[in-house]
């Protein structure tokens, strides 16, 4: 065979080998990107966590990181476990902070101070149109920068900007950098491999219906039964300019802290603030502020110390009582010997019930109540939007 022909055959042989290797590597990359073996890390602290959402622009008159830092001790004293910071990255460059809030060093120092006080920090991540492999990879690298540069502990993501497969890939990649918590802003299906929890938007809409008297306790029970079979929810009461829930606010807050899921507080709710506008700075010293702060501190303490209220606890039970009362949602959550009894009047009228329907009522320690009367024998009465939260065999607060 002529030498030239041998060279051509040899070159062709090597080309075939290289082509095979190329496609083999590509196939391996593709499999890694869509690997379903990834599982979200287990965070024991998340079981009893309380989230506090921060809008820097309305948190203080300064409207920046420093304005929040000045009140960090007050937030810590509430007992919250995690801060969710809104609107930190610029819209044009997600790797930089908004100038009106401060510098990247200011933010890094703030995160460090939060960690010193044993508070986790997550970023609210607003993104749009993550289309194509390059855009997806770029987004993941940008999110990694916030973890590497500022040591944040997770993201609360607007998942409308990417599909489920992308967010699963993102969670897998980000958790290789640091074990982080991932939350989504919607209740879309098939996201449990990417997110630890999702916003309980349906719960919030249900409360609006109850307040308008078009939904009742049975509606709430149906929702909670359905929610048992989905990923944990972040239970929240949305802010607005008019204080939408009015006199029902405290009852709904007590409910939010005691049903299954992760309760979220919007900054300022602990002093009765209900303005959603960025232009209105929170007044931290209104009338009854001390009473409202104590209300939230008590709820947080009850959640922290009672395993019956924690999320994702094995062999935990939830027993409804007063089932025939459409205006009342009453239940006993139990884990081991620990029990929490909650009775909520979901209406603007007074309701009377028979205390004998509550098993072992005399054993409970009344921790929190409003518009409640009982003789401990037969009468259990709740005024408009009244509630009671009681505990049995409650462990000491550690």
113 and 246 both lie in a single domain = yes
Write out the two tokens for 146: 């916030």
Helix (H, G, I), strand (E, B) or coil at 170: helix
338 and 260 both lie in a single domain = no
pTM here is: 0.88
271 and 153 both lie in a single domain = yes
Residue 164: the pLDDT is 82
- Positions of E strands within the chain: 51-54, 82-85, 120-125, 154-157, 181-184, 197-199, 233-235, 262-266, 317-321, 328-335, 338-345, 351-354, 365-374, 379-392
Q: What's the rounded Cα separation, in Å, for the pair 322 and 355?
A: 9
What is the span of the domain harbouring residue 276?
Answer: 44-309
217 and 335 both lie in a single domain = no
201 and 295 both lie in a single domain = yes
Report whether 321 contacts 329 (CB < 8 A). no
Q: Which residue has the tokens 């820097």?
A: 56
**The last residue of a domain, from among 309, 326, 354:** 309
Mean pLDDT for the stretch of residues 221-248: 81
**Beta strand 233-235 with 262-266: parallel, antiparallel or unpaired?**
parallel
Number of domains, the chain: 2
Q: What's the rounded Cα separation, in Å, for the pair 201 and 81?
A: 21
Q: What's the rounded Cα separation, in Å, for the pair 196 and 180?
A: 10
Q: How many residues does the chain have?
A: 398
Q: What's the rounded Cα separation, in Å, for the pair 254 and 250?
A: 6
Q: Exposure of 13 by Cβ count < 10 A (0-12 exposed, 13-18 middle, 19+ buried)?
A: exposed
140 and 257 both lie in a single domain = yes
Residue 14: the pLDDT is 42
Q: What is the pLDDT of residues 170-195, one digit of tens each?
A: 999 999 999 999 999 887 776 788 89
Mean pLDDT for the stretch of residues 108-119: 98
304 and 210 both lie in a single domain = yes
Q: What is the pLDDT of residues 252-274, one digit of tens each?
A: 999 999 999 999 999 999 998 87
336 and 297 both lie in a single domain = no
Q: What's the rounded Cα separation, in Å, for the pair 389 and 376?
A: 15
């Amino acid at each position: 065979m002529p030498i030239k022909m041998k060279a051509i055959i040899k070159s062709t042989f090597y080309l075939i080998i290289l082509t095979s290797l190329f496609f083999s590597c590509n196939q391996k990359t593709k499999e890694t990107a869509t690997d379903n073996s990834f599982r979200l890390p287990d965070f024991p602290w998340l079981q009893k966590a309380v989230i506090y959402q921060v809008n820097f622009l309305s948190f203080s008159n300064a409207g920046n990181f420093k304005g929040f830092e000045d009140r960090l001790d007050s937030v810590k004293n509430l007992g919250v476990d995690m801060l969710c910071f809104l609107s930190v990255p610029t819209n044009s460059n997600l790797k930089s902070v908004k100038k009106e809030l401060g510098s990247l060093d200011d933010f890094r120092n703030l995160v460090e101070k939060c960690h010193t006080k044993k508070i986790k920090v997550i970023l609210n991540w607003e993104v749009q149109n993550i289309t194509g492999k390059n855009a997806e990879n770029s987004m993941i690298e940008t999110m990694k920068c916030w973890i590497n540069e500022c040591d944040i502990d997770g993201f609360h993501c607007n998942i409308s900007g990417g599909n489920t497969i992308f967010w699963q890939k993102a969670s897998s990649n980000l958790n290789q950098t640091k074990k982080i918590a991932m939350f989504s802003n919607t209740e879309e299906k098939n996201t449990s491999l990417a997110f630890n929890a999702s916003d309980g938007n349906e719960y919030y809409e249900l409360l609006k219906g109850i307040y308008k008297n078009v939904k009742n306790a049975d509606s709430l029970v149906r929702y909670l039964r359905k929610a048992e079979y989905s990923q944990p929810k972040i239970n929240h009461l949305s802010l607005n300019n008019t204080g939408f829930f009015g006199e029902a606010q405290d009852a709904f807050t007590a409910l939010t802290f005691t049903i299954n899921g992760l309760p979220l507080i919007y900054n300022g709710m602990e002093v009765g603030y209900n303005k959603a506008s960025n232009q209105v700075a929170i007044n931290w010293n209104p009338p009854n502020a001390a009473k409202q702060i104590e209300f939230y501190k008590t709820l947080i303490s009850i959640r922290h110390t009672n395993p019956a209220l924690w999320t994702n606890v094995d062999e935990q039970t939830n027993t409804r009582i007063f089932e025939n009362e459409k205006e009342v949602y009453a239940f006993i959550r139990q884990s081991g010997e620990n029990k929490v009894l909650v009775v909520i009047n979901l209406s603007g009228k007074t309701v009377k019930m028979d205390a004998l329907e509550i098993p072992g009522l005399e054993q409970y320690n009344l921790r929190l109540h409003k518009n409640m009367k009982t003789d401990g024998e037969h009468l259990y009465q709740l005024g408009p939007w009244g509630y009671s939260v009681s505990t049995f065999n409650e462990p000491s607060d550690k």
